[in-house]
Amino acid sequence: MSDDGLTVDQAAQLAGVSAKTIRRAIAKGDLIAVTVKGRHGGYRIPREAVEALYQNAPTTRPVSPVQELATEIAELRGQLDRITQQLDESNREAAQLRAEVHDSRAQLAQFQDHILKALPPPPRPGLFARLRGKKG
């Protein structure tokens, strides 16, 4: 780079675009440039002009719709895989809980049987209760 301005290649590198894009901008009048004659001619472009024109330019190339869709599909597949893993884990936990509930019910039934066997039989009704029961 000289003090006289940037070459097309230098301007392209500074702006993050191709040299062809810089030449197009010069041809359209969007970018100021001085034509240099001689053996190593071409254009000299003021640094300030390049910075002003490309200060808000995107640093990456535009993505085609097909690439956007492919990226979105890949992201959705990743989300689906994560959700599937979560669902599998939830199903394993649910199966474990069902087994624990089954075991707890079986233990409860055994405990109830044990308690019923340990209790004395209910008392027989007394003579008067038996007589009253026969009348009514």
Taking residues 14-37, report their average pLDDT: 90
Bridge partners for 5 per DSSP: 2
Mean pLDDT over 38-47 rounds to 82
What is the mean predicted confidence (pLDDT) over 56-81?
A: 79
In this predicted structure, what is the pLDDT of residue 1? Answer: 42
Average pLDDT of span 29-39 = 85
Average pLDDT over all residues of the chain: 85
Q: How confident is the model at residue 63 (pLDDT cuts 50, 70, 90)?
A: low
Backbone angles phi, psi at 42, to 5 degrees: 115, -145
Sign of torsion over alpha carbons 41, 47, 53, 54: positive
Q: What is the pTM of this model?
A: 0.40
Let me know: does 44 contact 33? Beta carbons within 8 Å: yes
User: Residue 42: beta bridge partners?
Assistant: 36
Mean pLDDT, residues 6-35 taken together? 90
Half-sphere exposure of 60 (CA within 13 A, CB side): 3
Q: Kindly tell me if the per-residue pLDDT of 62 is higher than 70.
A: no
